[in-house]
Structure 1
Amino acid sequence: MENNTCIVKYFWFSTFVGTLVYCLQQMNVKLPSFVQYYLNDFLIIPIVLTICLYVVRKLKGDKTYKISIYYIVYICCGYAIFFEYYLPEILDRYTSDVIDIILYFAGGGVFYFFQKNTKIIS
């Protein structure tokens, strides 16, 4: 991945923040409600899509490849169905929440924005 693009900086920032939130939750640190319940739902889609973008670019040997809006929507729908419909049906640990779905798509929108506005560095 190009080290000086917004999308890569956002990826590392999101990964750091998401990991920090997870670790604090495991240590039972009291976090604000939005951070506790929603922040990682917003961060996960850009993290996953950036990894996908990196892998596809490496496999194709094409540094200019961009993930289409259709694939971004597809991934967001997949996360929404799996985490907000399927898992709550089979595991008590998971609950269905419309806000999570909105945050998956908002994260996808952030990824799309960064990807669209990132200059490719050869």
Structure 2
Amino acid sequence: MKTITHPLFIVLAIIYAVYYGLKQTDLVFPVLVSNYLADLLSIFLVNTFALWSIRKIKNKPNLELPIPLVLLSVIMFSIFFEYILPQKSPIYVYDPWDVLCYAISGAGYVLWRRI
């Protein structure tokens, strides 16, 4: 199955790019969008790009990321962005809902790759 050329990945990447670009302006987003959109897309986009990279490096076009590796990415994002960074900088704030968003993103990725 396609990775970064798949229409779903392209649409989600465009949504994220437009969101990130508009975030640099003074435009005010609804709270749910500004707080959770990037988190809902993060694992999906990062794992898809990682899969594409691994496939290119290993020259294995049918390789898929195993579920434990996707779970590991959810755990690593959660620890880094919700535990480590909030201790290092006041810009970052712990939000347990972000962890749920990472999990939803990971589950969406797994479902997309398995269907």
Give TM-score, length-normalised by structure 2.
0.92
RMSD: 1.8
Q: Distance in 2 between matches of 1:10 and 1:81?
A: 27
Written as runs of structure 1 = structure 2, the 5 A alignment for 1:87-106 is 87-106=85-104
Q: Distance in 2 between matches of 1:98 and 1:2?
A: 32
Q: Distance in 2 between matches of 1:43 and 1:14?
A: 7
For residues 61-105 of structure 1, what are the alpha-carbon distances to aligned partners after superposition, in whole Å with 9 as ceiling and x for unaligned?
211111001000000100000000000001000000001000001
Name the residue aligned to 1:71. Answer: 69
Structure 2 residue 47 is matched with structure 1 residue 54: no
Q: Give unpaired runs (5+ residues) of structure 1.
A: 118-122
Q: Distance in 1 between matches of 2:8 and 2:107?
A: 13
Question: How far apart are 1:2 and its partner, in Å?
Answer: 3.1
Name the residue aligned to 2:2. Answer: 2
- Give the residue type in structure 2 aligned to 1:97: D
Name the residue aligned to 2:12. Answer: 14
Identity of aligned residues (%): 28
2:39 is paired with a residue whose SS is helix
Q: Distance in 2 between matches of 1:98 and 1:32?
A: 19
Q: Distance in 1 between matches of 2:50 and 2:113?
A: 12
Question: How far apart are 1:34 and its partner, in Å?
Answer: 0.9
Give TM-score, length-normalised by structure 1.
0.87
Q: Distance in 2 between matches of 1:28 and 1:48?
A: 27
Q: Give unpaired runs (5+ residues) of structure 2.
A: none
- Give the residue type in structure 1 aligned to 2:43: I
Name the residue aligned to 1:33. Answer: 31
Question: Which ranges of 4 or more aligned residues in structure 1 deviate by more than 3 Å?
Answer: none
